[in-house]
Amino acid sequence: LAWSNAPPDTKSFAVTIFDPDGARGLGIVHWVLYGIPATTTTLADGGPPPAGSIGGINRTGKDGYYGPCPPHGDAPHHYVVQAYALDLAANALPPALNRDALIAAMKGHVLASSSMVVRYAR
């Protein structure tokens, strides 16, 4: 995952991955990561999160990335990947926020955002 052209006042980034098709339409949070330093422009495939970033709570009740795993035979699920440029210092938010709490905490602090939707089925 990579991004560029963040607003000049960006102090940190946040990234979420959400599957709205999971849990029979109730949705599943696959990743919450925030406090990503403003100097970061990529998240490596399978690599550790950037130093200083904070892992939020995913569907398992723990931090970290939880990969896509739709049931066999389901139509492809939609995975919404969202990146936010924030005016918050990287250490401004407490650890262990879930997606809803992160979104609430970011209100009024998002300088720019971008998203993409990818599809996956097994």
d(CA 104, CA 12): 16
Q: DSSP H helical segments within 1-122, as ranges?
A: 22-25, 99-106
Q: If you average pLDDT over residues 25-51, what whole number do you get?
A: 95
Cα 15–122–102 angle (5° rounding)?
20
Name the amino acid, one letter, at 80: V
Specify the pLDDT at position 78.
98
Q: If you average pLDDT over residues 7-14, what whole number do you get?
A: 98
Specify the pLDDT at position 95.
97
Q: Does the pLDDT of residue 60 top 90, yes or no? A: yes
Q: If you average pLDDT over residues 59-81, what whole number do you get?
A: 95
As a whole number of Å, the end-to-end CA separation of the chain is 22
d(CA 101, CA 89): 17
Q: Does the pLDDT of residue 45 top 90, yes or no? A: no
Q: Does the pLDDT of residue 47 top 90, yes or no? A: no
Q: Does the pLDDT of residue 20 top 90, yes or no? A: yes
Task: Cite the beta strand spans of the chain per DSSP E.
Answer: 12-19, 28-37, 54-55, 77-86, 110-120
| 90 — pLDDT class (breaks 50, 70, 90) | very high
